[in-house]
Structure 1
Amino acid sequence: MKIAVVCANGKVGKLVVKEAMKRGLDVTAIVRGENKSLAEHTIIKDLFDLKKSDLDSFDTVVDAFGTWNPESLTQHSTSLKKLCDLLSGTNKRLIVVGGAGSLYVNPEHTLQLMDTPDFPDMFKPLASNMGKALEELRSRDDVRWTYISPAGDFRADGEKCGKYILGGEELTLNSNGESIISYADYAAALVDEIINGNHINERISVVRA
């Protein structure tokens, strides 16, 4: 299986590359500059400059794009649209590294985590823009996408425990009442989804078991 990891130099992107290679997948990093991941193959190109032909040889494309810069938050939408347009009408999969803010906290799916009183103000612009990108993605029936939301507490340097709970549209808590996952366990769950391919055109979520 050949996969491309777009924005592979980011923290999540690097761990997805590492996990995928450990599982024996053929991994190519798509980066703007020097490849800082472990991927043996590299395409040095800005995401917005990619062409359809750049992605022809891959079975799955992982979108690990992310930005905190207020001036570029709208790129969560434009970058995702760019990749969707490139993959439109093909049998290739698009796996999106998503956010937790758009997860629902009630069974009626009328209240999202980012709209709850305790959600930190500093994360609201990011969550709002990522949530908008997800809603736009849901309208695409020409792409085989899967959007993967992490737990509410997404820990960059957290340990890899090797066990996780797979959830859906709602914020899921583990047996300790926590919504937490490390980047490393998230990457493992993402690669499991690449290999198993069970959630086409769905948003799923993961939390540490």
Structure 2
Amino acid sequence: MTRIVVLGGTGYAGRHIVAEAVSRGHEVVAVSRSVPTDQVIGAEYVQGSALDVAPLAETLTAADAVVSALSPRGDMTDRALEALTNVAELLSGTSTRLGVVGGAGGSLIAPGGPRLFDQGFPEEYKHEAQVGIDSLAMLETTDSGLDWFFVHPAEVFGPWAEGERTGHYRDGGDVLVRDDEGKSYISGADFAVAVVDEIEQGNHHRERFTVGY
């Protein structure tokens, strides 16, 4: 059994990751600023914020893996990178892996580039995409004492395109995954499958990867 802490464990990606990890028998702690009414049975819920990481230090460093599924929305709009930096600094030099949920914008559209973000990316999503890009850049500057991985979902990913759990996905390296018809999509449940697979298998160390069908 692996102990997994999910920051932002009540959000879209976070809740799916919590549910998937619990279903595989892992010990899961979901951290959020408010305790949800629709909790995943089998998970532990802790109130807290990565903006004030000290009260969470013991919870985070005791984990085998910490997954940041924080979204730059609401009062975290301009502080999500700060929160992630706090967590990265805390975990550096420990045996705890740090997984980070990114966005599709930083994915390359072909080997060697360019990025999806640079190809007429929708203006309303640019801020969130930039936070993801900046988060990856921050992780890449950390020293080798931090074992991290960063996951880009497909272009279509969110509660507006929920989909179902199939248990299947493709790993595209740093290139956006598209199907034979050119669509880039993954359900919330299968994105979580990819994240928990990475925690269990450890295929990516201090690198990013993309997932999609």
Same fold (TM over 0.5): yes
Match of 1:132 among 131, 134, 148: 134
How many residues matched? 205
Q: For residues 88 and 121 of structure 1, what CA distance do their matches in structure 2 show?
A: 35
Note if contact 2:72-2:131 (Cα within 8 Å) is conserved in structure 1: no
> Map of 1:11-90 to 2, 5 A cutoff?
11-35=12-36, 36-38=38-40, 39-51=42-54, 52-69=57-74, 72-90=76-94
CA RMSD of aligned residues (A): 1.6
Give the match's secondary structure for 1:128: helix
**Could you say which structure has the higher strand fraction?**
1
Deviation at 1:24, TM superposition (A): 0.6
Structure 2 unaligned spans of 5+:
none
State how far apart, in whole Å, the 2-side matches of 1:72 and 1:22 are.
29
Q: What's the counterpart of residue 205 of structure 1?
A: 210
Counterpart residue number, 1:187: 192
CA contact (8 A) 1:17 1:27 kept: yes
| Superposition deviation, residue 76 in structure 1 | 2.7
**Secondary structure of the structure 1 residue equivalent to 2:86:** helix
Match of 1:167 in 2: 172
2 CA distance for matches of 1:190 and 1:135? 20
1:4, 1:58 within 8 Å by CA — same for their partners in 2? Answer: yes
What do residues 183-208 of structure 1 show as CA deviations (whole Å, max 9, x unaligned)? 11101111111111110101011002
Q: What is the TM-score of this pair, normalised by structure 2? A: 0.90
Q: How does 1:141-160 map to 2 (within 5 A)?
A: 141=143, 142-156=145-159, 157-160=162-165
Supply the AA of the counterpart residue of 1:116: Q
Alpha-carbon shift at residue 16 of structure 1 (Å) = 0.7
- The amino acid that maps onto 2:212 is V
1:72: how far off? Answer: 3.8
Q: Distance in 1 between matches of 2:65 and 2:43?
A: 17
Structure 1 vs Structure 2: percent identity of aligned residues? Answer: 35
Worse overlay, 42-51 or 163-172: 42-51
Q: What code does the residue aligned with 2:118 have?
A: D
SS at match of 2:31: strand
Give the deviation of 1:181 after TM superposition: 0.6
SS, match of residue 96 in structure 1: strand
Give the 3-state SS of the residue equivalent to 1:205 in structure 2: strand
Matches of 2:22 and 2:76, distance apart in 1: 31
Task: Give the drift of 1:20.
Answer: 0.3
What is the CA deviation profile of residues 83-131 of structure 1, one whole-angstrom value per residue up to 9, with x for unaligned ones? 101101011100111111011123223x2101102x2111112111221
What SS does the aligned partner of 2:106 have? coil
Structure 2: distance between partners of 1:49 and 1:125: 23
Aligned partner of residue 165 in structure 2, secondary structure: coil
More deviation, 16-25/163-172: 163-172
Rounded to whole Å, the distance in 1 between the matches of 2:203 and 2:189 is: 21
